[in-house]
């Protein structure tokens, strides 16, 4: 148990990332407001990127940009997670834009962003069975 | 290297270029380009399939100048081009079959964007079939998600917007979980390509280090893809999504997009993680349980639904349950059955959606069962097509749906404790299928209530030709399934070997 | 009937009375068939409410349990990961080593990350630019409403930043500098931190400031929609074609005419510099068009 705890403290940055992910997920699950769901989604993505970025760090080394012709791995951190995070961020931006445009359209149409109300409006039982 | 081996890569690049060109071209040229692209894709995939099957080889194709652990790669054996071929064929036939509705449902000023999205869906499906790199898989999953959401929301009604939001929320949670799984896997293996992952994971598992992390990582990736393809507890987005979109989009989404996620999952399980590790991690049994639950719950929901397309959509949830049950059984015979079921579902579902909307059209635009009474008399072609699809879904011999059920049952006898639950689930689910599909087929052919209320609509029979082609392919496979089975079995040997 | 702003404030506080919405919504389309089955809104609503309340309670309990289990598993997994910042982690293997140690020699890029994403793992990055393109198409599909649904003037548009001499002068000064900084980041992507994605985003911010101050109409006259479309077409077409060449030669073991050049020079690193420029244009156009679609529904 104690070992577990020290490990958890060692990986504190990954812990924060996971907590962010769970906060985002909770927002997505519990908040009825569509806009806040989108925000939750973004927080979730941020948590993922933090986790990914933190996996690439190596203590005491510098950014992977070759300086003064030194190309020894012992001087630089791992470049792979940086590249993957870049991809992830672009994906996240695209997805947020799409979600926000859906939100805008729905708000213009129904004048509410409450998902429960929206589901109720489209549920079959409202129209006496005939649809 | 033979020139044919370049074709998977050519088809992917061609789709990308066509998508961009369609974005700038108008509706008319976009449509021509897209249909041309889909046909070319069918030809290219057939060539690759022919090459791989006749030489009995699989090969990895470097995307760039750097070999496996450093550069990106795509891989083709028999399974990959076969699935890519299936996806292209179903996509082409759904688009052609739903053309009337696309022209009716989607405003002219955004139709070229719809074509662009079809191209992008195709590129993601091809890339997901051929990818040999887990992160490439993630990128194309996202293209697939965004493009399919756009296909869905192209029909500009409030309900499709809400359905799209719901679909997106589920899909994005799924891809978030998948990405976290990929990160965990990467951080304990240091690799992203399937062959290297396979080696490292096998070594790690034998070694005993990071076993818990590995299990969670596999679980997250599986859960992510299961949510995206609509496995049982996460199937709630299906009825709205499939039931409200324009029929071509419904066919594409239910027929091929969900299958592409399942194909990626199969690749992750068999090529990256390795089936032994997957079985030992215990996630296999969880998949079996959720698959069986999905079969039952999906069918029960389908019985309770009051709308025709909602019913067909819920039956999709049940069929996805079958496929996951096959993955959960874990034997090669069960995998064969799962693949056959992918074929059966991908060929039958678009046909059902296309004919369902024709039947609704013949009933004054209503989808509920009282209005649909006798609809088969009003639109005979659509009625026959729907009935054939329903029989196939139930699993009547001669139709394609019979083959996977037979294979599932024969695969079940080789199992230990899973034998009786699987057989029981098959029996119960078939019974439930009979209940709702045959009930629907019966309603369609009952005498009409008030024949004066609906005028029979003039339909060119050519409009249902694509759906008939789907039916014909299904019948051919259903009557003579040996070549496909043999091809799949030949493919498995190449699929799991390095 | 509440107005739009009242409702807006209402949902900001997180509470929308959905029952009010329910009554507002128009009943089913009146066809001869629909009248046969009478529609009872009140009876319907009561049962719907009951079902929703039941569903919500079950959902909340399930979701809480799910979240708790999920976070526990995630924290346990994190505790079992290789330690943060350790140099003996499994990720520090031959893959990362080759990117750093041979990357400059093989790709010509001093910035190892740029070399990795645009040369070693270029297929991912090609897919990534197409994710942006897909999103751009999807947003266009949802938001584009030329002529038909003209957005009426909102409060913030009445507030004319252009009339304010301070804002106008500062923006005139700042926009060229931002643009230049973006281009610098774009062109130096293979030498220093940055590259197509960040450079493009910075360039887009300059365009967005222009549209914000000088107004959407003037911005779309200055940067016509057609030009944006053609830029995206050319950039993505060039990207796909040049990568086709390098993938094709790579996979078939042919000699490629692209040489990495002298690392450290501005004109080096083979295709990475032009690819960065192409990506930068795509990102810039996409971000700017996102802004314009959200602002006025057309480019």
Lowest mean pLDDT among B129-143, B154-168, B453-467: B453-467
Reading the block at residue B164, the tokens are 């799209």
pLDDT class of C31 with cuts at 50, 70, 90: very low
Chain C neighbors of B191, CB-CB under 8 A: 93, 95
Q: Do C85 and A71 touch (CB under 8 A)?
A: no
Q: Do A94 and C132 touch (CB under 8 A)?
A: yes
Q: Of B127, B129, B109, B149, whose CA–CA distance to B63 is shortest?
A: B127
The secondary structure element, H or E, covering residue C7 is: helix C4-12
Residue C48, pLDDT score: 67
Q: Do A79 and C113 touch (CB under 8 A)?
A: yes
User: Each residue of B414-437: pLDDT tens digit?
Assistant: 888 888 888 999 999 999 988 888
B61 SS3 class: strand
* Percent of chain C residues topping a pLDDT of 90: 24
Does position B392 have pLDDT exceeding 60, yes or no? yes
Q: Do B146 and A94 touch (CB under 8 A)?
A: yes
Query: Greater confidence, B246 or C56?
Result: B246
Residue A33, pLDDT score: 87
Residue B336, pLDDT score: 92
CA angle at B260 for the pair B298 and A102, rounded to the nearest 5°: 75
User: Each residue of B224-266: pLDDT tens digit?
Assistant: 999 999 888 888 888 878 878 888 999 999 889 999 999 999 9
Chain B neighbors of A103, CB-CB under 8 A: 165
Mean of pLDDT values over C242-270? 80
Mean of pLDDT values over B23-52? 91
CB of A7 within 8 Å of a chain C CB? The answer is: yes
Residue C225, pLDDT score: 84
Residue A74, pLDDT score: 81
Mean of pLDDT values over B84-96? 93
pLDDT class of B46 with cuts at 50, 70, 90: very high
Query: Greater confidence, A115 or B456?
Result: A115
Mean of pLDDT values over C124-136? 92
Chain A neighbors of C105, CB-CB under 8 A: 71
If you count residue pairs, one on A and one on B, with CB atoms under 8 Å apart, how many are there? 90
The secondary structure element, H or E, covering residue B72 is: strand B72-76
Q: Do A98 and C138 touch (CB under 8 A)?
A: yes
Residue A128, pLDDT score: 41
Q: Do C40 and A123 touch (CB under 8 A)?
A: no
Chains with ≥3 CB–CB distances under 8 Å to C: A, B
Question: Dihedrals φ, ψ of C150, to 5°?
Answer: -50, 125
Alpha-carbon distance of C38 to C36, in angstroms, equals 6
Mean of pLDDT values over C137-164? 68
Q: Do C122 and B63 touch (CB under 8 A)?
A: yes
Q: Please tell me which of the candidates B65, B127, B190 has its beta carbon nearest to residue C91.
A: B190
Contacts of range C11-14, beta carbons closer than 8 Å, 24 or more positions apart: C11/A33, C11/A35, C11/A112, C11/A113, C11/A114, C14/A31, C14/A32, C14/A33, C14/A36
User: For residue C85, what are the β-bridge partners?
Assistant: A58
Residue A11, pLDDT score: 85
Residue C40, pLDDT score: 47
pLDDT class of B221 with cuts at 50, 70, 90: very high
pLDDT class of C38 with cuts at 50, 70, 90: very low
Does position C35 have pLDDT exceeding 70, yes or no? no
Mean of pLDDT values over C238-246? 90
Residue A96, pLDDT score: 93
Residue count of chain B: 498
Q: Of C296, A21, C12, whose CA–CA distance to B220 is shortest?
A: A21
Lowest mean pLDDT among B18-22, B332-336, B456-460, C110-114: B456-460
For A129: left if phi > 0, alpha if psi spans -120 to 50, otherwise beta; the answer is left
Alpha-carbon distance of B334 to B407, in angstroms, equals 7
Chain B (61-90) residues lying within 8 Å, Cβ to Cβ, of chain C: 61-66, 69-72, 74
For residue A43, the distance in angstroms to the closest alpha carbon of chain C comes to 15
User: For residue B290, what are the β-bridge partners?
Assistant: none
Reading the block at residue C216, the tokens are 């959407």
The secondary structure element, H or E, covering residue B302 is: helix B283-304
Domain boundaries, chain C: 4-79, 110-296
pLDDT class of B495 with cuts at 50, 70, 90: confident
Chain C (77-96) residues lying within 8 Å, Cβ to Cβ, of chain A: 78-81, 83-87, 89, 91-92, 95-96
CB of C172 within 8 Å of a chain A CB? The answer is: no
Alpha-carbon distance of C211 to B160, in angstroms, equals 32
CB of C33 within 8 Å of a chain A CB? The answer is: yes
Residue A84, pLDDT score: 92
Q: How many helices (H) and strands (E) does chain C have?
A: 14, 0
Residue C67, pLDDT score: 86
Residue B236, pLDDT score: 80
- All residue ranges of chain A with pLDDT < 50 are 124-131
**Cβ–Cβ contacts within 10 Å for residue C139, how many?**
25
**Cβ–Cβ contacts within 10 Å for residue B417, how many?**
8
Does position C29 have pLDDT exceeding 80, yes or no? no
Q: Of B152, B213, B148, B151, whose CA–CA distance to B182 is shortest?
A: B213
For residue C258, the distance in angstroms to the closest alpha carbon of chain B comes to 11
Alpha helices in C13-162 (DSSP H): 18-24, 32-36, 41-79, 94-101, 103-107, 112-115, 122-143, 155-158
Does position B445 have pLDDT exceeding 90, yes or no? no
Domain boundaries, chain A: 2-125
pTM of the complete model beyond 0.95? no
Residue C145, pLDDT score: 67
Mean pLDDT (chain B, rounded): 88
The secondary structure element, H or E, covering residue B350 is: helix B332-362
Residue B453, pLDDT score: 60
Residue C45, pLDDT score: 62
pLDDT class of C66 with cuts at 50, 70, 90: confident
CB of A120 within 8 Å of a chain C CB? The answer is: yes
Report for B351-360, C90-99, C131-140, C256-265: range of highest mean pLDDT: C131-140
* Percent of chain C residues topping a pLDDT of 70: 79
Does position C2 have pLDDT exceeding 70, yes or no? no
User: For residue B368, what are the β-bridge partners?
Assistant: B307
Fold designation for A2-125: Helix Hairpins (1.10.287)
User: Each residue of B153-179: pLDDT tens digit?
Assistant: 888 787 888 888 888 988 999 999 999
Residue C253 C-alpha from the chain's centroid: 36
Residue C282, pLDDT score: 93
Q: Do A97 and C139 touch (CB under 8 A)?
A: yes
Residue B455, pLDDT score: 61
Query: Greater confidence, C46 or B471?
Result: B471
* In the block, residue with structure tokens 């789907």: B470
Side-chain-side CA neighbours of B300 within 13 Å: the count stands at: 9
């Amino acid at each position: 148990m104690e070992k577990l705890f020290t490990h958890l403290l060692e990986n504190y940055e990954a812990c924060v990332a996971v907590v962010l992910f769970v906060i985002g997920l909770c927002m997505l699950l519990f908040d009825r407001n569509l806009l806040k769901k989108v925000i939750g989604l973004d927080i979730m993505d941020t948590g993922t990127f933090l986790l990914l970025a933190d996996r690439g760090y190596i203590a005491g080394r510098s950014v992977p940009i070759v300086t003064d012709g030194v190309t020894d791995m012992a001087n630089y951190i791992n470049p792979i997670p940086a590249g993957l995070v870049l991809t992830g961020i672009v994906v996240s931006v695209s997805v947020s834009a799409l979600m926000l445009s859906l939100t805008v359209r729905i708000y213009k149409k129904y004048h509410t962003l409450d998902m429960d109300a929206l589901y109720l409006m489209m549920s079959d039982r409202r129209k006496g069975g005939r649809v | 290297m033979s020139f044919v081996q370049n074709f998977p890569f050519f088809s992917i690049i061609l789709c990308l270029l066509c998508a961009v060109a369609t974005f700038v071209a108008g509706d008319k040229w976009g449509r021509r380009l897209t249909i041309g692209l889909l046909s070319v894709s069918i030809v290219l995939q057939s060539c690759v399939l022919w090459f791989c099957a006749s030489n009995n080889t699989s090969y990895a194709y470097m995307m760039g100048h750097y070999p496996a652990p450093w550069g990106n790669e795509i891989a083709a054996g028999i399974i990959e081009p076969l699935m890519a071929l299936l996806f292209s064929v179903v996509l082409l036939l759904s688009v052609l079959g739903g053309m009337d509705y696309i022209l009716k449902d989607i405003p002219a000023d955004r139709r070229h964007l719809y074509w662009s999205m079809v191209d992008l869906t195709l590129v993601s499906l091809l890339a997901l079939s051929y990818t040999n790199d887990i992160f490439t898989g993630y990128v194309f999953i996202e293209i697939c998600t965004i493009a399919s959401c756009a296909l869905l929301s192209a029909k500009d009604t409030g309900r499709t917007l809400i359905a799209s939001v719901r679909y997106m929320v589920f899909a994005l949670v799924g891809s978030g979980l998948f990405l976290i799984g990929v990160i965990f896997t990467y951080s304990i293996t240091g690799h992203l390509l399937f062959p290297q992952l396979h080696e490292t994971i096998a070594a790690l598992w034998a070694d005993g280090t990071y076993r818990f992390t590995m299990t969670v990582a596999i679980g997250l990736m599986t859960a992510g893809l299961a949510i995206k393809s609509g496995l049982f507890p996460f199937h709630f987005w299906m009825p709205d999504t499939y039931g409200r979109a324009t029929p071509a989009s419904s066919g594409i989404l239910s027929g091929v997009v969900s299958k592409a996620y399942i194909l990626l999952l199969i690749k992750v399980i068999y090529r990256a993680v390795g089936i032994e590790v997957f079985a030992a991690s215990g996630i296999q049994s969880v998949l079996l349980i959720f698959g069986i639950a999905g079969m039952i719950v999906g069918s029960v929901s389908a019985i309770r639904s009051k709308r025709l397309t909602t019913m067909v959509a819920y039956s999709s949830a049940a069929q996805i349950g079958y496929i996951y049950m096959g993955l959960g059984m874990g034997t090669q015979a069960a995998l064969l059955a799962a693949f056959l079921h992918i074929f059966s579902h991908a060929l039958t579902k678009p046909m059902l959606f296309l004919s369902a909307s024709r039947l609704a059209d013949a009933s004054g635009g209503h989808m509920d069962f009282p209005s649909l009474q006798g609809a088969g008399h009003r639109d005979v072609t659509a009625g026959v097509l729907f009935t054939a699809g329903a029989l196939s879904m139930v699993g009547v011999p001669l139709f394609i749906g019979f083959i996977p059920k037979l294979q599932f049952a024969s695969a079940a006898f080789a199992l230990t404790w899973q034998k009786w639950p699987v057989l029981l689930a098959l029996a119960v689910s078939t019974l439930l299928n009979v209940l709702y599909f045959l009930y629907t087929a019966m309603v369609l052919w009952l005498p009409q209530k008030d024949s004066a209320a609906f005028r029979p609509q003039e339909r060119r029979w050519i409009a249902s030709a694509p759906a008939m082609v789907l039916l014909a392919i299904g019948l051919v496979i259903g009557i003579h399934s040996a070549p496909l089975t043999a091809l799949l079995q030949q493919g498995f040997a190449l699929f799991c070997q390095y | 009937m509440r107005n739009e702003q009242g409702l807006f404030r209402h949902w900001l506080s997180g509470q929308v009375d959905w029952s009010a919405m329910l009554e507002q919504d128009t009943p089913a389309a009146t066809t001869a068939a629909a009248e046969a089955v009478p529609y009872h809104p009140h009876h319907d609503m009561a049962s719907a409410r009951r079902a929703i309340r039941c569903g919500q309670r079950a959902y909340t309990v399930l979701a809480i349990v799910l979240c708790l289990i999920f976070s526990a598993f995630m924290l346990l997994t994190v505790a079992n990961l290789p330690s943060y910042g350790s140099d003996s982690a499994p990720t520090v293997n031959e893959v990362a080593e080759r990117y750093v140690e041979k990357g400059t020699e093989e790709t010509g890029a001093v910035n190892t990350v740029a070399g990795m994403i645009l040369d070693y793992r270029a297929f991912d990055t090609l897919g990534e630019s197409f994710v942006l393109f897909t999103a751009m198409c999807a947003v266009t599909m949802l938001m584009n409403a030329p002529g038909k649904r003209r957005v009426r003037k909102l409060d913030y548009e009445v507030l004319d930043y252009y009339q304010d001499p301070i804002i106008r002068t500062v923006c005139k000064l700042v926009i060229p500098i931002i643009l230049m900084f973006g281009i610098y980041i774009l062109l130096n992507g293979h030498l220093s931190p940055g590259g197509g994605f960040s450079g493009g985003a910075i360039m887009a911010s300059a365009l967005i400031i222009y549209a914000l101050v000088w107004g959407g109409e003037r911005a779309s006259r200055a940067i016509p929609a057609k030009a944006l479309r053609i830029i995206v077409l050319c950039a993505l077409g060039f990207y796909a074609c040049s990568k086709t060449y390098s993938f094709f030669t790579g996979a078939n073991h042919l000699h490629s005419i692209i040489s990495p050049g002298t690392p450290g020079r501005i004109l080096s690193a083979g295709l990475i510099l032009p690819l960065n420029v192409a990506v930068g244009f795509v990102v810039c156009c996409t971000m700017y068009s996102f802004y314009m679609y959200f602002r006025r529904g057309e480019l």
